[in-house]
Amino acid sequence: MLFVDNKGITDPRLNLAFEEYLLRHVRETEPLLLFYINEPSVIIGRNQNTIEEIDPDYVNTHGVHVVRRLSGGGAVYHDLGNLNFSFVTQGKGDLHQFTKFIQPVVACLRSLGVAAEIRGRSDIFVDGRKVSGNAQYATTARMFSHGTLLFDTDLDAMLRAINPRRITIESKAVQSVRSAVGNLREMLPGNMTIDDLRAAILREIFGAGAVPEFRLQDEEWRRIEEISASRYATWDWNYGRSPQFNVQKSGRLPIGKVDARIEVSEGYIRSIRLFGDFSGKRDVAELEAGLVGTPYDRERLAAALAETDLDAYFGRMDVDAFINLIY
**10-residue averages of pLDDT along the chain (327 residues):** 96 98 94 98 90 89 96 92 96 85 96 94 92 93 95 93 59 56 92 95 94 95 98 93 84 80 91 83 90 93 93 86 90
Instruction: Calculate Rg over the CA atoms of the chain.
Output: 23
Residues of the chain with CATH 3.30.930.10: 2-240
pLDDT value at position 59?
Answer: 94
Task: Please name which of 193, 89, 77, 72 lies closest in space to residue 134, comparing C-alpha atoms.
Answer: 72
Nearest to 164, CA basis, from 292, 48, 300 = 48
**What's residue 169's pLDDT?**
41
Can you tell me the distance from the alpha carbon of 187 to that of 170, in angstroms, rounded to the nearest whole number? Answer: 39
Q: Where are the beta strands (DSSP E) in 16-158?
A: 32-36, 41-44, 65-68, 76-78, 82-90, 116-119, 123-126, 129-138, 142-150
Whether residue 253 contacts residue 311, with contact meaning beta carbons closer than 8 Å, is answered with: no
Q: Are 316 and 254 in contact (CB under 8 A)?
A: yes
- Give the Cα separation of 87 and 94 in Å (integer): 11
What CATH architecture does domain 245-326 belong to? 2-Layer Sandwich (3.30)
pLDDT given for residue 120 in this prediction: 86
Residue-level pLDDT at 241: 83
Angle (CA) 170 171 177, round 5°? 95
**What CATH number does domain 2-240 carry, 3.40.50.1970, 3.30.565.10, 3.40.30.10, 3.30.930.10?**
3.30.930.10
Report yes or no on whether pTM surpasses 0.75: yes
Q: Where in the chain is the domain with CATH 3.30.390.50?
A: 245-326
